[in-house]
Structure 1
Amino acid sequence: MGCGRGNSDSGNHSSKGCVCEVVRAILEIQNAAVQDDCNKCTTNCFLEPLGGIVNPARSNADTRVFTLLNKDGSPFFATFSGNGSSSPCVSIYFRVEDIFDGCCATLRVLIPEDSNGDPVDLLSNCGSKIDFREVCRVTQFEASDSCITVDLDCFCAVQCIDDVDLGICD
């Protein structure tokens, strides 16, 4: 079944949508220290161990960066407080912090940065849509202090981007 399917309210998470299950798996992978050799699909969200998306030998990754698509196919975005700026900035990149009540999740908003470590402004000139040319400039991420709570059943797709070390305390 695809987006907008009628989920039964049976109380167990196996009846929830695939986005919920993928984000749940990302959280489990982030929390586990499982060692696997290799996998053919190098951006598969279920790929273990953490660090395996880019380099399976990398052992210091603590975050699987991902994006979410709304049911209309547009990227989901959230704001974060900018580095030294009083105006909020926008990101489409997240780290899962917790999952609760079946398919609700706390997500940390990640700051998109270019290869020089400078924040990338993802908004178009009119400031109402994501500029995909700017998305292509993003090569690294930094943890923000901004977290949001979402209902994962409201999304149609999840895409894993990278495994990175953000220095997140456990």
Structure 2
Amino acid sequence: MTKRGGTIIGLGGTMLGPGDKVPCELAMSRASNPTRRIFDAWFALRTPGGAAPSLVAWDASGAVPDLQSSILIVEILPDTKDYRYLRIGKRAAELRGYDPTGMTVRGIYTADALDFVLENYDLAVAHPCGIVDFSVDIIPDDRHVELETMLLPLSKDGTVPSHVLVYGHYITK
């Protein structure tokens, strides 16, 4: 899909080394086991026609309870070409250093970081099975490094994406 070089300085001093953004069905061979577990749970909830599951179906499934604290849900705001953070898991908020619930991507990020984050969400919405972003993100406290971010579309009606499920896989130094 896409690959960029260089470094992007993000919100709060995170350092992002942009890398491959790959459709999930191609990315699973190099994804971490937790990322694969979430993808498998999401994939199992797809409709018989192969459409993305709904947020209600995801929530009702109780899938991967041990990883829910690293998941966030983003609502698609189609008329504004923006995304609103609907909810964020405890670990995801702790690693960010804040809880962005209710905030929009355009309200949080600027410059290169904004372009990078919007591109991820746009790619996830455009691809029926979502994407994995293999960019390396170093959190400001320097103890946590995000190795991959998976973004999966969710749909209220089985046709048009309405939300994006995001899982960030971190290692701790």
Q: What's the TM-score, normalizing by structure 1? A: 0.26
Which of structures 1 and 2 has the bigger CA Rg? 1
Q: What's the TM-score, normalizing by structure 2? A: 0.26
